[in-house]
Structure 1
Amino acid sequence: AQCQDQVFTQRTGEISSPDYPAPYPPLSTCSYSIQVEDGLLITLEFVETFNVETHPEVLCPYDVLQIKTPKKQFGPFCGKTLPAKIETQSNVVNIAFITDVSGAHSGWKMKYTAAGLPCPGPEAPPHGHIAPVQAQYTQGDRYALSCDTGFALLENENVVMSFVAECRKNASWNKPMAKCIIVDCGQPEDIDNGTFTYLTGPEQTTYSAEIQYQCAAPYYTLKANSSGRYVCSDDGYWKNSQGEATLPVCEPVCGMREDGAVERIFGGRRAKPGEFPWQVMLISEHGELGGGSLLYDNWVLTAAHVVAEQRNPSALRVKLGILNKRAVQYEEAWAEEIFIHEGYKNDLVNFDNDIALIKLGHKVPINTTIAPICLPGKEERFQMKANAPVTVSGWGRTETRSSSVALLYTELIVISQKECTDAYANKSLNGSPLLVTENMLCAGAEEGGRDACQGDSGGPLVFRDAQTRKWFVAGIVSWALDCAVAGQYGVYTRVTSYIPWIESTITSNS
């Protein structure tokens, strides 16, 4: 029979005599070899029937089955009794079956399995899970450890993304069991002009702990509908309710001021500390004085004609929180960049688009004496109607008068567009007609004839919004002609016309 040099390398298999269970052929020399990888041990088990020709007195003289390993021999086997299971303790087994000329016997069949010594059963650590789960793990078997949500794998004191162990041939694992440790987001980051408090417990920074950010009230508030509540997420980051790891931002509260009695006053009146915290003093490189209004904590709104000649932004002096021009206590900032409206002509006659923004080099501290003014919205109530009360403030430098040492303010009313256009019709400066456009707003004293030139060029014209009880900027001091004369009005850049320009300039340069 063709039964020589058959090699088996799988971990399990079946081997039988030729033609089993029919009688095996005579005069055959069969050889089978089981060879599995080092470390595995082969077990042989005879199954079904066993029938090999024998002799009552002599041990297997006719047909014989022999089993050998490099270290040991089993058998010879013959007769009709199923041999017992053989633990060979080897990874190589050679089987020989030799038959003589006569006889008709059904032969034999065996199943073999090769298995390593089992490794100790792995035990999952707390919050850990082993897969696959097996009754025993032998050489080459692996398991992976995973952790509950909010827990991380720790191997040799290092956090790892995955963990797989393998059973070695000496029946030991190739690495010790990892641990599952709770994810720790660490100390939350501080934010400018704000603080955080631990909600879950003192210094609690592990998975699902919560913290609350707050801004320094009353001067700062959380920007854009952020609740300020953050949770330690399973990936180790503090995240807000939208699942973002970006920190909340504290932005200054605009339009708040220290309110004294709001008497209606005509003619210049000295401002008290904190009454016009958005008022900015600008001193050009040529020593000229102008005004501006603080927006947020690092932008100043002013008139284009104030900064049009300013070649070097850093030479522009920016003073905040100052009432008396000669004061030594004030906040000084520096201009990083100046943005002049692209539609401004700078010809001293056409003052259309007389608006500019100054980006400050750093954020200024917000307090009782320094605070931003609010920008008006698109709502109807922000469209300045005739007779609406407005306030202008400044140190009163105009084309015609020298300036005041103290910050002054004057209560005015909005003049209808028609009345203002009529007042300036047929008026000219240096031989060119003065134009009042839709982008301008006029204001004057209620009973006429009072000085409406109280502001500085670039300074704020503001009003209090009844709905929010905050102060908003309506105009920027732009130009006037003989404004102490009855029937002449101060002309201001109309801020509502420029909200898109202001917002896009700030957004694209922040």
Structure 2
Amino acid sequence: MRVSPWIVLVYVICTVQGITHLRGSHGYFESPNFPEPYHNDITEEWSIEVRKGYKIKFKFTAFDLEDSYDERPCVYDYLLITEGGEELERFCGNPSLHHYSSTPRINRWYYSQNNSITVRFVTDYSNEDITPTGFSSHYVETDIDECAILDHKKRTIIEDWDELLTCNHFCVNIPGSYYCDCRAGFELAPNNHTCVAKFCENQHLTDLEGEIKSPDYPLPYGKLSNCQWDINVPKGFSISVTFFEPFDIEEHVDEGCVYDTLNIQYKDSSETYCGSIPPHVNRTWDLNTRDVTVRFQSDLSVEATGFRFHYNTSRIRCLKQLRAPINGTITSTNEKSYYEFEDAVTFACDLGFDMVGHHRTVCNNDGVWTHDEPRCQIISCGSPDHLTAVEYSHIVHFAEKEFTYLEEVTVRCNQWYKQTRGYATWKCEHTKKWIPHGVSTGGSDIPECRPMCGVKGAEDNSLFKPQISGGTLSKLHEWPWSVFLNFGSTRNLAAQVGLCSGTLISPNYVLTAAHCALDTVGHVRQVNHIHVWLGVPNRTVDESQVKYVQVEKSLIHGSYDTKSGSKWDYDIALFKLSETIIMSDAIRPVCIPTTGDQFSMLVPTRRGEVAAWGLFNAGIQASNFLLHAEFPIIATETCMSSYRKRYEDAGRKLPANLVVTDNMFCAGYEEGNSGTCQGDSGAAFVMEDNATSLYYEMGLVSFGLNECGSTTTYTSFTKLNEVVVRWILQNTDDLK
């Protein structure tokens, strides 16, 4: 860049909002009332600016300000000089009386770094006993020696040195600016600082031999070089190169060739070099091609020695030695030990293998075979994606499988899941398809894994001790399908009111009583006010030790109606969970009866079990521990008779809608034993199938006339009969 030195200099003074702006090549500023004493409590400010490319020098012809009288410099009256927001100087005192570093020297020049400074004069309130006269100063613009500054930075800067722009050939200082110039053969880059070699760009070489080297080799190569040599020799010739030392191209100590690079492109190869060791040192490098592109690029930082190499040519051959593929054969009519232009080779694969590639290849005039050798690959059926997609399963030793001809894979359900249909074993056949083998469990060929239901846990929990009379403390994970429900705007595992129980019947559904899905005024609860807890043996544990799930949808049986018929008929509801539950030691579903033998288990005198958190509490608090008790099934007539007696003893008549229907049954004790309580509603009544040892939910707690802690009559349960089970299966996609 160039600036003309013939400019008329104008001295300008203007004052804007209490700041005096001084513009021009020279000027002066002085304290108010100078040379008379200045006043107390004043602040004056001068903004001084000269032309860009210049800096400011100023000196004092007089200076007399109140001294600080202590170790703190200039805290009473002072003159502050700042540049770019940074403090340049802070002056006070009288140079004829003191020689502090904070006291300026008369007629000594002080310099800014750039073309603008701010001067602020501040006085306090305490000059009654002294009469300092203030100061007078003159300033003049002076040229900045940019070349000297750049040279100093180049020699001294440590941090970000590689981002510093300097004139790498010649720097010429002119008034107010500077410019860079280059040696012959170089041109100035767009950054106006770096000299770039242009004589090596876009060079085309067609001679059968020649030499290529970096700019100024063996002197340091130029910055921002972008050299390119395209070597093109006639067909039928092959290029070979030989590098010479010294070889030195800037290299990153950890990341390699990321600064300056020598790139050689030939055929389908592109190789990049840097460092101090030349490619293929001390030997000729046969590139086996007639076309080579050489690129040399450098950045703005280090300039090293560079490179030099010689190239020549020879008649082309197909140097790549062809071999028979594994599990295959090779045939050639050529008896020579090497191949030249137009020589041909054919390949074949053994039985049971497919050829990947071409069966014939020919040596071209560029020294490259028309095709690479083929591979003889054993027939593959590919990854059995239709089997890996089976939920809750894995393929045995999957990582070791190659999925090739005659190989078998076995689908195995994860722990706590079982195969309910399809084939577990599949074989890769010659058709490249997976074919089922072995015995099917029924249904479609594709296997299906579903949770194992009704498997009761048996791990003792020695940390828990019974604290509540009546009932028995459950073992850890003994009833893995038991679900604790609390209602309201806040989830609360330790809640004592607004509670129910439920049962996990599938990975996505919880079964409970219909009245649990209603609030206290009979409205359907909002799903965000229903909180589901699974795997809860103890409600005092930290929430992170159990599983909390939100509800996506609530579904009450369509025949449940507290206003007509039996108040408790079809007292059953489903909660669809917001996420699919993964089965574990602590969480598993109960079985749902579907066969006549299973439905027939529900007969009087047989016994079932109920596990919940509201059971058997003689006080007003729900149990913190999952408790369970055995309940005998009672005939409906016996149960209704007990209900009528309970009301008659109380001097009341049994309500007409208090009826045990065919969709209900009674169980428990009339007095003196375990009963149900608030918080037990929705809990499962389970029975063990003696043939399979699996537990089935035959009903769920609906209502009782007992007071918590005392048993005076039986508990009524919603019955899972054929009608109710059909409703459950229809609304849970068959418990999926």
- On the 8 A contact 2:358/2:373 being kept in 1, the answer is no
The alignment status of 1:273 with 2:476, answered yes or no, reads: yes
- Verify the 8 A CA contact 1:267 1:411 in the aligned structure 2: no
Kept in 1: contact 2:537–2:626 (CA 8 A): yes
Query: Would you say 1:494 and 2:712 are equivalent positions?
Result: no
Q: How much has 1:389 moved relative to structure 2?
A: 1.5
CA distance in structure 2 between the aligned counterparts of 1:236 and 1:391, rounded to whole angstroms: 54
Task: Write the distance in 1 (CA, Å) between the matches of 2:684 and 2:728.
Answer: 15
- Distance between the aligned counterparts of 2:594 and 2:552, measured in 1? 27
Residue in structure 1 matched with residue 285 of structure 2 by the alignment: none
Pairing 1:255–2:477 present: no
| In 2, Cα distance between equivalents of 1:312 and 1:508 | 25
Q: Distance in 2 between matches of 1:244 and 1:156?
A: 44
Shift in Å, 1:148: 12
What SS does the corresponding residue of 1:228 show, helix, strand or coil? strand
Contact 2:685 2:700 in 1 (8 A): yes
- Match status 1:240 vs 2:436: yes
Residues 315-370 of structure 1 show CA distances to partners (whole Å, capped at 9, x for unaligned) of 32110001222322201112122221111114496111111112222222322221
Identify the residue that residue 531 of structure 2 maps to in structure 1: 317
CA contact (8 A) 2:554 2:574 kept: yes
* Separation (CA, whole Å) in 1 of partners of 2:615 and 2:698: 20
* Superposition CA RMSD, Å: 4.4
Matched, 1:294 2:504: yes
Structure 1 residues 422 and 320, CA gap change in structure 2 (3 angstroms): same
Aligned equivalents of 1:500, 1:244: Cα separation in 2: 20
Residues 301/245 of structure 1: CA separation in 2 closer, same or farther (3 Å cut): closer
CA distance in 2, matches of 1:344, 1:357: 13
| Contact kept in structure 2, 1:152 and 1:181, CA below 8 Å | yes
2:643 counterpart residue number? 424
Does the 8 Å contact 1:237/1:245 carry over to 2? no
Pick one of 567, 574, 579 that aligns with 1:357: 574
Q: Residues 131-210 of structure 1 correspond to what in structure 2 (within 5 A)?
A: 182-188=378-384, 189=388, 191-197=390-396, 202-210=400-408
The one of 403, 415, 418 equivalent to 1:221 is 418
5 Å-filtered alignment, 1:59-74, equals none
> Is residue 212 of structure 1 aligned with residue 426 of structure 2?
no
> Do the aligned partners of 1:150 and 1:233 also contact (CA within 8 Å) in 2?
no
- Structure 2: runs of 5 or more not aligned: 1-326, 329-348, 360-370, 461-467, 491-497
Distance in 1 (alpha carbons) for counterparts of 2:660 and 2:675: 17
List per-residue Cα deviations over 1:195-237 (Å, max 9, x = no partner).
Answer: 21259x94230244210011223x121223x341122356655
CA distance 1:244–1:221, shift in 2 (3 Å): closer
Q: Map Cα deviations across residues 359-391 of structure 1 (whole Å, 9 max, x no partner).
A: 222222322221111112323353211111211
Q: Quick one: distance in 2 between partners of 1:285 and 1:476?
A: 22
Structure-2 separation of matches of 1:419 and 1:207: 69
Partner residue of 1:376?
593
Partner of 1:453: 676
TM-score of the two chains, using structure 1 as the length reference: 0.58
Alignment correspondent of 2:662: 438
3-state SS, counterpart of residue 421 of structure 1: helix
* Offset at residue 410 of structure 1 (A): 1.4
2: CA distance, partners of 1:323 / 1:198: 36
Distance 1:372 1:402, change over 3 A: same
Structure 2: distance between partners of 1:275 and 1:354: 26
8 A contact 2:615–2:627 mirrored in 1: no
Say whether residues 1:472 and 2:696 are aligned partners: yes
Q: Deviations over 1:136-187 (max 9, x none)?
A: xxxxxxxxxxx99998786779xxxxxxxxxxxxxxxxx9999986542333
Instruction: Report the AA paired with residue 481 of structure 2.
Output: W
Matched AA of 1:209: E
Structure-1 separation of matches of 2:664 and 2:443:
43
Aligned to 1:507: 733
For residue 203 of structure 1, what is the amino acid of its counterpart?
K
* Paired positions, count: 351
Matches of residues 91-130 of structure 1 in structure 2 within 5 Å? none
Q: 1:433 to 1:310 in 2, by over 3 A?
A: closer
**Deviation at 1:268?**
2.0
- Structure 2 counterpart of 1:491, which letter? S
Structure 1 residues 292-311: Cα deviation after superposition (integer angstroms, max 9, x where no partner) = 11112221111111113444
Q: Please tell me the residue identity of whatever aligns with 1:298.
A: N
Residues 423 and 446, structure 2, Cα contact 8 Å, conserved in 1 = no
| Cα distance in 1 for residues equivalent to 2:729 and 2:608 | 23
Task: Give a deviation string over 1:78-111, Cα, whole Å, max 9, x none.
Answer: xxxxxxxxxxxxxxxxxxxxxxxxxxxxxxxxxx
Query: Is residue 386 from structure 1 mapped to residue 612 from structure 2 by the alignment?
Result: no
SS of the residue 1:223 aligns to: strand
| From 616, 620, 625, the counterpart of 1:406 | 625
The CA distance in 1 between the partners of 2:392 and 2:735, in whole Å, is 21
Deviation at 1:418, TM superposition (A): 2.0
Secondary structure of the residue that 1:221 maps to in structure 2? strand
CA deviation map 1:245-269 (0-9, x unaligned) = 97533222111122379xxx99222
Query: How far apart, in 1, do the equivalents of 2:355 and 2:728 lie?
Result: 51
Q: CA, structure 1 residues 295+433, in 2 after alignment: closer, same or farther (shift >3 Å)?
A: closer
What is the letter of the counterpart of residue 448 of structure 1? E
Task: Give the whole-Å Cα distance in 1 for the aligned partners of 2:734 and 2:609.
Answer: 31
CA change 1:486–1:405 in 2 (3 A) is: closer
Compare 308-317 and 359-368 and name the one that shifted more: 308-317
How far apart are the structure 1 equivalents of 2:599 and 2:350?
55
Compute the TM-score of the two structures, normalised by the length of structure 2. 0.42
Structure 1 Cα separation of the partners of residues 575 and 707 of structure 2: 28
**Cα contact 2:703–2:715 (8 A) shared by 1:** yes
Gaps of 5+ in 1: 1-125, 128-146, 158-174
Change (3 A) 1:296 1:494: same
Note the C-alpha offset of 1:193: 3.5
The alignment-based identity, stated in percent, is 29
* Distance across 2 between alignment mates of 1:148 and 1:253: 48
**Contact 2:608 / 2:687 at 8 angstroms: preserved in 1?**
yes
Q: State the distance in 1 between where 2:510 and 2:395 align.
A: 30
2:394–2:414: 8 Å Cα contact kept in structure 1?
yes
